[in-house]
């Protein structure tokens, strides 16, 4: 009977495992004000970089349209 003394803690049931998983998930969702501010700042920085890239592309497209000798579509 020494084998029974090795595992004195009974195994958890399905309900307890599910409850522990939900508890761990809720703990992972612990979202502080600092976390929110950091995430918001990162999101704004990504959006600013995207807008800068779109502006650069827009300027390149408009400068290539205004080149002398380029095709210009004038309607009368």
Render pLDDT for 10-29 as a digit per residue (tens, 0 to 9): 666 888 888 899 988 888 78
* pLDDT on residue 9: 58
Can you give the residue range of the structural domain that contains 52? 31-62
- Given a cut of 80, whether residue 4 has pLDDT beyond it is no
- Given a cut of 90, whether residue 68 has pLDDT beyond it is no
* pLDDT on residue 73: 55
**pTM listed for this prediction:** 0.47
Say if 38 falls within a structural domain.
Answer: yes
Residue linked to tokens 């592309």: 57
Domain count for the chain: 1
Phi-psi region of 69 (alpha: psi -120 to 50; beta: other; left: phi over 0): left
Say if 19 falls within a structural domain.
Answer: no
* Res. 30 pLDDT band, cuts 50 70 90: confident
């Amino acid at each position: 009977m020494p084998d029974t003394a090795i595992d004195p803690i009974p195994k958890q049931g399905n309900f307890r495992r599910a409850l522990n998983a939900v508890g761990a998930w809720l703990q992972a969702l612990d979202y502080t004000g600092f976390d929110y501010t950091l995430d918001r700042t990162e999101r704004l920085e990504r959006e600013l970089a995207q807008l800068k890239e779109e502006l650069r592309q827009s300027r390149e497209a408009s400068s290539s349209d205004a080149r002398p000798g380029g095709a210009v579509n004038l309607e009368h």
